[in-house]
Structure 1
Amino acid sequence: MRRLLLIPPDTRPPTLELPASLARMTGVEVGVPPARALPAFFTPGDTDALRAWLLKMVAGADALVVCLETLCLGGMIPARRVSDSLEVALERLKVLREVKERRPGLQISAFGVIVRVAHDNDPHEEKPYYGQWGRELRAYSAAFDRLARHGESERGALDAARAALPADILADWLGTRERNRALHLEALNLLAEGVLGHLCLTLDDTTPYGLAAYDRRLLEARADELGVWERLDIYPGADEVPCALIARALRPGPHRVWVRYSGLGGAETEMLYEDRPAGELVRAHLRAAGCVPAETPDGADFVLAVNTPGLRQAHRQPDFATVDTPHRHLPAFVDALRAELEAHRRVSLADIAYPNGAESRLWTMLQGLPLARLAGFSAWNTAGNTLGTAVAFGVLAPLVTDRAAHAGALFARMVDDVLYQSWARYAVRDRLSDPSPFDLGPQREAAETLLRELITPRIQALWERHFAGQGLGLELGPPHLAWPRLFTGVFPLTVTADRG
């Protein structure tokens, strides 16, 4: 494959630079739309410009990975906020038929995100009224699904939840969900027609009960009717899906993967932002990237090492009630990783013990291992985000032609997932004056100044400890924030091969 086109969900490093870097480390050229065409936070991208760019670039492309929400509604976050009609969204979707007609051999992999029911009352990533009515909308969501699944015994809870909400707000919120679900149903038709080669419909920040689960069942029923399950995945995930689909496009499977958990019961542990236990989540992410479980480590293409909580994820670490419990034994897990590396097996490490960053205790234990020899590393945001990224690293490891590019992608994850998400963003927050988690406002400049002061020395130290002395050099730009909030940092870095 020579060239891959990517239309991402937005411009954050994990959704744009990360998947692009995974492709580039294999020698593939990656084309992405101009920044002006892509969404910026909750500001929609330019869908007309995206269409024009796609039609212009398709002639020289071998594969396309496209976010349906960006193509049709201006972005993953704008898709929860804009008032564009279903008719307009479906008209924009037709460009995929057009590019397939122009280039029949083009591999088109698409993904859509089933509208989440946000856990936090975020008025920026959701519609503005969610900041006031989020709790009530979540109650309605759960009650509706419980009624749909368990019958009239749940009717009272749904009536009470509906009565607690202004009718116009509920109607608008449900209308947005129905429009996006209809877009996904049409994408299933494109899959059945052969326009799409593979489709992922994922659940972002989901729970066992809620409207996302209800939508999932409707989409699954339509998939049953169309008979498209061989080329379809519906599972919890979102931001990491471009990585999985790029891995699938560049290295078709099946790839055999040996999964090693940090505890004997790791597959049964509970996640905070997913609707299923860790083991089922792992299986879903393996399938999305074209992988199957291996019977033994010796028969595997790579080892997926998964650090799970003892019983259930928790937000704050250390957590000795549900995460760091006797249900797992981290020293033995680290010993096993060392043995795998010494046996020259490819190992990709997914740390899902806590959401939104690596586990500090595990990271400390890992310092005696040659971390630069890992095929992949991931520990960011939800368990799904982490798993999809780690699996993609593992799948693509045999195709790496640019050692510096691989080291850069690996190091970038350690910088973001360990140094920033697990430490620096909390250190910065503690030095600000009661910052909002949704919008820093005038404190953004101070936050970015603090970030540069705190994290830059640690980035350099991490490089010196694990990556220096291998014929590679590091060029580091000034760290800053992706959006006016602390949740996502940007760490411009380039790894180069020393000339000598």
Structure 2
Amino acid sequence: MAALPSVLLIPPDTRPHTLELPASLARMTGATVRIPPAGALPDFFTPGDTDGLRTWLLREAPGAGVLIVCLETLCLGGMIPARRVSDDLPRVLDRLTVLQDVKRLNPELQIFAFGVIVRVAHDNDPHEEKPYYGQWGRELRAYSTAFDRHARHGAAEQEALQAARAAVPEEVLSDWLGTRERNRALHLAALDLLAGGVLAHLCLTLDDTTPYGLAAFDRRMLEARADELQVWSRLDIYPGADEVPCTLLARALRPGAVRVWVNYSGLEGAGAELLYEDRPAGELVRAHLRAAGCVLAHSPAEADFVLAVNTPGTRQAHWQPDHATVDTPHRHLPAFVDGLRASLDAGQTVSLADLAYPNGAERRLWQLLQPLPLEQLAGYSAWNTAGNTLGSAIAFGKLAPLVTDRAAQTGALFARMVDDALYQAFVRSEVRERLQNPSPFDLGDQREAAEAHLRALIAPRIHALWEQHFAGQGLTLDLGQPHLAWPRLFTGVFPLSVQPDRTPAPT
């Protein structure tokens, strides 16, 4: 097997999903991955050092084979800062030119870039958005929908658009739209770099999107430009965001089309509706497969791996259990689990994507999975949006044949089970119940108490999960101190390391 290229990674931010997960996927294949120094990367809504990133790139690029770069981090200080900073467009586009510079320094460097079309946040979050979004989020969302409906359907929507516009202060709307226009211009410039051969591949993704809205309007504008430039063979525009570093890593390290058999938990699972995407589950799967360099297989026998997808009965819901749209007769979880067992018993490579509920595993499915040999899965994912889950699970599956470090692969798999199932599906709500009406946006002085509850609740479960499924394989688990990534419960950090067991055999 040819040596894998050295990878440079500039992620959207420093959360475990966006930084540690792609780095761990690279490590399990034996690929070398280098990231910028911590001070150059963003911290929550504090921007990273764009000058420092440029210096780091110019220094590291001559010795690298692949660059995976988030355009928002490179040019605006991060995915969240890109929605908040006031940097003007000329300065932003000037920062983008470093990609041309490093390509000249190293013509063999394969640059895989991605940008995130500015979302219209579902929650009135004043930290991930500009502060005024905490007050005017609902009205801005209404304007977003009205604008796009008018753009598509014309005069019939004019009155609704005028009412939505009148409900938002002019200075707020102007600033909000200006941020979107600047970031769209960055993505249009990236399309030009793709057409010019500077970029090997480009993903432009829609974060927390809906069928109608300004993100959909932006998508159509970018698609029209892609038509003009004729760059679709190296371009993907689809719903996603935080998982794209994993997607592009899979594309870069294992080029060429990989065949995937998709097994849904319900016979009509491909038609299931999703809360944070603009299309049904089956179309989202196809989009994520293409972005990672995969194609649908015609049968399980010809597939390189099986992607097992737990979809809701008809539509995702927020609260478990939901018997109205998720846990319905439109699917049969015991049969789905039986199929997983059969695939594992047959020695097939299986990666499991659980997207029945956003923001964590389905509790019922997790319990049904426990009799299975979960350590034999090639991948597991159940975090945040359906797109986040799918992109991660597909990357695990595609990279499975390249695994050279079993401890690293086990660590990456186990970390997802700890975070996506143990924390997001169970412990997070238990911590919340122990606090005093915590804000979802900022825990304030309750953060210390939250982290103490987190450690007490999750550490025993982590060790129990390891003992049940992963012990006895010649590997050892070292667990650090669980804590929160940011001052909110949404994202936990679970430092763990899996290493070969070097305990001397008894004499």
Where does residue 162 of structure 2 map in the other structure? Answer: 159
CA distance in 1, matches of 2:258, 2:467: 34
The partner residue of 1:444 within 447, 455, 480 is 447
RMSD of equivalent CA atoms: 0.5
Q: Does 2:85 correspond to 1:47?
A: no
CA distance in 1, matches of 2:267, 2:167: 45
Paired amino acid for 1:425? R
Where does residue 391 of structure 1 map in the other structure? Answer: 394
Where does residue 180 of structure 2 map in the other structure? Answer: 177
Q: Secondary structure at 1:260's aligned position in 2?
A: strand
| 2:264 and 2:310 in contact (8 A); partners too | yes
The partner residue of 1:420 within 423, 427, 431 is 423
How does 1:62-73 map onto structure 2 within 5 Å? 62-73=65-76
Give the drift of 1:227: 0.1
CA distance in 1, matches of 2:366, 2:301: 26
Where does residue 216 of structure 1 map in the other structure? Answer: 219
Cα displacement string for residues 306-326 of structure 1 (whole angstroms, at most 9, x for unaligned residues):
000000000000000000000
Paired amino acid for 1:238? A
Give the drift of 1:361: 0.4
How does 1:286-297 map onto structure 2 within 5 Å? 286-297=289-300
Where does residue 207 of structure 1 map in the other structure? Answer: 210
Give the drift of 1:229: 0.1
Q: Does 2:279 correspond to 1:276?
A: yes
Where does residue 460 of structure 1 map in the other structure? Answer: 463
Where does residue 15 of structure 2 map in the other structure? Answer: 12
TM-score for the superposition, normalised by structure 2? 0.98
Q: Does 2:127 correspond to 1:124?
A: yes
Q: Secondary structure at 1:14's aligned position in 2?
A: helix
Where does residue 380 of structure 2 map in the other structure? Answer: 377
Moved over 4 A (4+): none
Paired amino acid for 2:421? V
TM-score for the superposition, normalised by structure 1? 1.00
Paired amino acid for 2:380? F
Give the drift of 1:60: 1.2
Q: Does 2:497 correspond to 1:494?
A: yes
CA distance in 2, matches of 1:340, 1:386: 20
Give the drift of 1:244: 0.2
Cα displacement string for residues 110-151 of structure 1 (whole angstroms, at most 9, x for unaligned residues):
000000000000000000000000000000000000000001
Cα displacement string for residues 448-470 of structure 1 (whole angstroms, at most 9, x for unaligned residues):
00000000000000000000000
Give the drift of 1:2: 3.6
| 2:28 and 2:404 in contact (8 A); partners too | yes
Cα displacement string for residues 274-326 of structure 1 (whole angstroms, at most 9, x for unaligned residues):
00000000000000000000001110000000000000000000000000000
Q: Secondary structure at 1:148's aligned position in 2?
A: helix
Can you give the 5+ residue segments of structure 2 that lack an aligned partner in the other structure? Answer: none
CA distance in 2, matches of 1:230, 1:23: 25
Q: Secondary structure at 1:458's aligned position in 2?
A: helix
CA distance in 2, matches of 1:168, 1:363: 48
Q: Does 2:249 correspond to 1:246?
A: yes
Where does residue 357 of structure 1 map in the other structure? Answer: 360
Paired amino acid for 1:358? A
Paired amino acid for 2:450? A
CA distance in 1, matches of 2:214, 2:154: 15
Cα displacement string for residues 387-445 of structure 1 (whole angstroms, at most 9, x for unaligned residues):
00000000000000000000000000000000000011100000000000000000000
Where does residue 235 of structure 1 map in the other structure? Answer: 238
Cα displacement string for residues 155-196 of structure 1 (whole angstroms, at most 9, x for unaligned residues):
000000010010000000000000000000000000000000
CA distance in 2, matches of 1:300, 1:92: 42
Q: Secondary structure at 1:450's aligned position in 2?
A: helix
Count matched residues: 500
Can you give the 5+ residue segments of structure 1 that lack an aligned partner in the other structure? Answer: none
